[in-house]
Structure 1
Amino acid sequence: MNRREALEKVTLLLGGTMIGAQAFLSSSFTFPKDSDFLTAAQKVLLNEVGETIFPATDTPGAKEADVAAFMSVIVADCYTPAEQQIFLAGIEKLEKTSHDTYGRSFLKLNPTERETLLTTIDKAHIAYMSARKSGEPVHYFRMFKELTISGYMTSEVGAVKFLEYNPAPGRYDGCTTEKPWH
């Protein structure tokens, strides 16, 4: 099983837990296009992080889906102030780790260096989460990964091109005769 298959299965398993039922049940519900919670520079950085997590292949990647705009809206509207601070501090920690490891910003790293850096952070995230006690905050990288996957899968790019969403599967026969069922 490759990474894309695993992400698709996780997304289907999690369903719409991050998106309220209103998004699925109401025809008048729409997400805001963007939020001012994150700066333009932070959005560029998070789109590149998302692209490293979910790169473009034969389907578009996270950057084309603009997952940073999704992150900005969700973090601003759905996260507690404490979680928002963890998220924002995580952006700074990511940049500090990049500078400490490679001597430059994450945006100036080549794709291999980006993947190596995020893999290292992910290992630290997994260790932290397994040792975390109840009530302790989640690791910032977990937020980044979850929001990247959710943002991509709920975007038009992810739904139509990756998940191959078909709004009208099969055919509809509106005028049929009913036969008695016995």
Structure 2
Amino acid sequence: MDRRKSLKILGGAGVGIAGLAIADWKWHFVDQMTHEGFFSWKEEKMISAIADTIIPEGLPAITPSPDSKPIGALSTGTDKFLIKLFEHCYEVEDQNLIKSQLKELGKTNFLNADQKGREEILMAMANSENEDEKKFFDLMKSQTIFGFTTVKEVMVDYYGYKVAPGKYEGCITIA
């Protein structure tokens, strides 16, 4: 056995793995710095956190099968739906309201809070005297629920939706 050759191979593999880890970190860093889109990188993370707070990942009371996986707003892509919805389907006034309220929410350390802390912050917005905060919360809640309940996983697995519900069962057996 050639130990030098084996050590070179193991060293090369270690350097390759470390290089991949650094490249992954750099990719996230570059994505934050060069993020292009209607919402900033932080605003998109905030929308994802709000959706996850409203519909956290977990199993519902009635599961379609015993081996069902936990389902939530993030696992179904509801946060991505919300980002596209607000960017393409809302008027400029509503978009400005969303952006301003996301900015205000960013001042409350919302992203670093745990689930209970996030719920408290959102409930304070829901019960606020400020009309913009109430409107923002109602909009986020209603659209998150809409996005979650209309996704394929929920419609097919939990509501029993069938794309073509009718089927023809003829009276002749085919042999």
Q: Give matches, 1:90-169, under 5 Å.
A: 90-96=101-107, 98=108, 105-124=109-128, 139-169=135-165
Q: Is the 8 A contact 1:71 1:148 kept in 2?
A: yes
Which residue of 69, 85, 89 maps to 2:96?
A: 85
Shift of 1:150: 1.6
When residues 158 and 46 of structure 1 are mapped into structure 2, their CA distance, relative to the original with a 3 A threshold, is farther
- Output the CA distance in 2 between the equivalents of 1:39 and 1:122: 24
Match of 1:36 in 2: 37
Q: Is the 8 A contact 1:75 1:84 kept in 2?
A: yes
Shift of 1:173: 2.3
Which amino acid in structure 2 is aligned with residue 112 of structure 1? K
When residues 52 and 163 of structure 1 are mapped into structure 2, their CA distance, relative to the original with a 3 A threshold, is farther
* Residues paired across the two proteins, number: 127
Percentage of matched positions with identical amino acids: 21
Q: Is the 8 A contact 1:52 1:111 kept in 2?
A: yes
Which amino acid in structure 1 is aligned with residue 42 of structure 2? A
Residue segments in structure 2 that go unaligned for 5+ positions in a row: 1-35, 60-69
- Is 1:46 paired with 2:47? yes
Higher RCO (Cα < 8 Å, 6 or more apart):
1
Provide the TM-score with structure 1 as the length reference: 0.59
Q: Is the 8 A contact 2:54 2:141 kept in 1?
A: yes
Shift of 1:86: 0.4
Q: For the pair shown, which has the larger CA radius of gyration, 1 or 2? A: 2
